[in-house]
Amino acid sequence: MSNVVMDIDNLHARIGAKEILKGLNLQLEEGKVHAIMGPNGAGKSTLSKAITGHYDIEVTDGEIRYKGQNIVDWEPEDRALEGIFLSFQNPVEIPGVNNAYFLRTAVNAKRKHQGLEELNAAEFLREMKALVQELGMKPEMINRSLNEGFSGGEKKRNEILQMMMLQPDLIILDEIDSGLDIDALRAVSEGINKMKDGKRSFLVITHYSRILDYIEPDYIHVLKDGKIIKTAGPELVAELEEKGYGAIEEA
């Protein structure tokens, strides 16, 4: 068995007074693609927010151990700098903030954290331009305001662009396929597949199985009512497609 990069142990988390995660256990392996599937309201997005440290989430019990350390009390930026990346389901718009300026700040914050020299504007732009082209994005996206007025597909491509520039170790993709047409879906999945290097881990959170035709998962976990109720290989996808989540019983 490969090394475990993240070990979530008996995680209880709530939003306001409502408990959403109720003793969730999950192990993510280095270099593997894990898919979390489950019905609406099962707690899929809450899980991604709990891992990344969103303010809405209060962890009341349990641990999230990442690279051996419990990160439950870490600031969101510290988790990010240590290599956790979330591709948002609905990336927020930030008016007036230049896309390239934002991304260079993020890339250089990470480089600084790693003790590397910061990239100058020219070096950074060269890299960004190449990826923008590769992802089939319009060149003007480089200097537009961050996500402002972007279409759904443009926003998702921009998330993937950030992922590729930041080179994270654990990538969480929250409903990456929602709102994507077939061309965008292909470009986005190619970007993701290129990031697979045998070390990097992926957590693909999805309601539908479509994306899993493009990004082949190693494990499928079924999340229902705040817990992982089943873990299996990719063959589980077909069963879920056929029978729905209702048929899966707690193991």
Contact between 45 and other proteins by CB under 8 A: the answer reads no
Spatial CA neighbour of 214 closest among 164, 248, 244, 173: 173
Which residue of 16, 18, 68, 95 would you call a contact of other proteins, by CB under 8 A? Answer: 95
Closer by beta carbon to other proteins, 53 or else 217 = 53
Which residue of 12, 113, 196, 207 would you call a contact of other proteins, by CB under 8 A? Answer: 113
Provide the minimum distance between the beta carbon of 187 and other proteins in the complex, in angstroms, as a whole number.
21
Contact between 202 and other proteins by CB under 8 A: the answer reads no
> Distance between CA atoms of 245 and 223, rounded to whole angstroms?
9
Which residue of 14, 22, 54, 196 would you call a contact of other proteins, by CB under 8 A? Answer: 54
62-81: which residues touch other proteins (CB under 8 A)? 75-77, 80-81
Q: Which residues pair with 19 in a beta bridge?
A: 14
CA distances (Å), origin 238, targets 56, 79, 84, 98: 34, 34, 30, 43
User: CA 8 from chain center: how many Å?
Assistant: 16
How many residues in the shown chain lie near other proteins by CB under 8 A?
Answer: 30
> Distance between CA atoms of 206 and 180, rounded to whole angstroms?
13
> Distance between CA atoms of 185 and 175, rounded to whole angstroms?
12
Contact between 92 and other proteins by CB under 8 A: the answer reads yes
Interaction site with other proteins (CB under 8 A): 52, 54-56, 75-77, 80-81, 85-86, 88, 91-92, 94-98, 102-103, 105-106, 109-110, 113, 145-146, 162, 166
